[in-house]
Amino acid sequence: SLNDIENLRAIITYINDMVEQSPVKRWHSLNVTWYGGEPLINKNAISRLTPMLQELCAKHGMSYSANIITNGILLTSDNWELLKKCDVKNVQITIDGPQKTHDKSRPLKGRNNEKKNYFQILENLCLMPSGMHVTVRINTDREIADSIDELFQDFHVFGLWPMRSNQISFSTAWLRTYEEANESDLSARFSVGDFFDFQQSFRLNLVNRYNRWASQNQREQARLKWVLPEIQDECATWVSPYSLVVDPDGNIHKCWETIHEGKEAISHVSQGFKIESHQPYMDYDRSQLNEICSSCKYLPVCDKLSCSHQALKEGMPDCTPWKTKTEDSLKYQYLLMDSRPDLIIFPGHTNKVNTGHSNK
């Protein structure tokens, strides 16, 4: 396991070989995402591996950064300080709506199901030290969308948002349906287009709520950014030989969706870095997925092809909402800019940043 010192050393050797053997002339940074199950159950691995990774970065003149994806239940004061000590500055916590929806969709297992869940996370967020940032990810269906104001109210009562908006932000995600889950009632699921519409109303709700608070507290008003189609990149973990997922036993995967499927591992850290084992994944090409996608004019901006694993699995993924929403979205934002120039920022040039798995 990752508590095994031999596996920890093998991870360092693997990354070192990757840096030294690659044709990349200058490595600038190493970024680590601690991911579970629940990664804080094995915080020992985080505390032991972090100084080894930092030492490796110092050796090669690289900067080190880390983030964590957690359910938030174990974010005690001690664990917040541990994360800060281990250079984890960004934390993603999934909160699926207010208590009535979150506790139903994310119940605690075993005897823990009698303990606080949703409100424990909010209490733990109140303990967040300075220098940290939390993204609250909301996997959204119609039921969660209908109760989103209750979530905002709870964050306000706990003094979390908008009061600490410099440390807390929200991100909505489309609650997909996985075949292996064998879910029978899918009536609450959003279509791709309906979720796009929800995202726009969510953004407006967020800005309006912030501005009501800001006007009462002598703060500058917030403004909406334009939402525009953007060139989409493939998941870096999949297509790059220098991005990988390591499971608790040291097996190397190209996607965290396959982490529980041993046959999907491409190698083990003890076998050392071999670029050839990554070649089939480097060859992923969205334009070659199928004839329909290849001839689609929305191919470059299609976010449904960015998750390489899912796109290959489905063969013909759902179409990007831009295919049906571009005209209405641009018209709505233009009219809003005309009627409320104080509420929306005129679009400018932005540089696309590859965000890897968050594209999902």
Residue 116 CA from chain centroid, whole number: 25
**Where is 323: in which H helix or E strand?**
helix 322-339
Strand blocks (E) in 95-167? 133-140
**What residues have CB less than 8 Å from 349, skipping those under 6 apart?**
none
CA distances from 285 to 179, 234, 243, 306 (A): 24, 9, 17, 10
Residue type, 141: D
Nearest CA among 210, 130, 135 for reference residue 169 = 135
**What residues have CB less than 8 Å from 27, skipping those under 6 apart?**
19, 60, 61, 62
**Where is 29: in which H helix or E strand?**
strand 29-34
Cα distance between residue 105 and residue 197, in whole Å: 23
Q: How many CB atoms lie within 10 A of CB 55?
A: 11
Q: In 22-117, where does DSSP find H-type helix? A: 43-60, 77-85, 99-105
Which pLDDT score is estimated for 112?
A: 58
Give the tokens for residue 171. Answer: 């991100």
Cα distance between residue 218 and residue 169, in whole Å: 20
Q: What is the pLDDT of residues 23-38, one digit of tens each?
A: 998 999 999 999 988 9
pTM: 0.90
Q: How many CB atoms lie within 10 A of CB 151?
A: 23
- Reduce the secondary structure of 169-236 to three states and give it as a string: EEEEEECCCCHHHCCCCCCCCCCHHHHHHHHHHHHHHHHHHHHHHHHHCCCCCCCECCCCCCCCCCCH
Residue whose tokens read 């917030």: 222
**Contact predicate 348/229, CB 8 Å:** no
Q: Domains in the chain and their CATH numbers?
A: 5-231 (3.20.20.70), 236-318 (no CATH)
Which pLDDT score is estimated for 109?
A: 79
Facing residues of 291 across strands? none
Q: Residue 286: phi, psi to the nearest 5? A: -60, -30
CA distances from 70 to 22, 34, 90, 154 (A): 32, 8, 11, 20
Which pLDDT score is estimated for 359?
A: 41
**What residues have CB less than 8 Å from 53, skipping those under 6 apart?**
12, 15, 30, 32, 64
Count Cα atoms within 13 angstroms, Cβ side, for 125.
33
Secondary structure (3-state) at 4: coil
Q: How many CB atoms lie within 10 A of CB 61?
A: 9
pLDDT-flagged residues of the chain (< 70): 1-3, 110-114, 177-186, 349-360
Give the tokens for residue 169. Answer: 């932000």
Edge-to-edge strand ranges of the sheet holding 29-34: 29-34, 63-70, 88-94, 133-140, 168-174
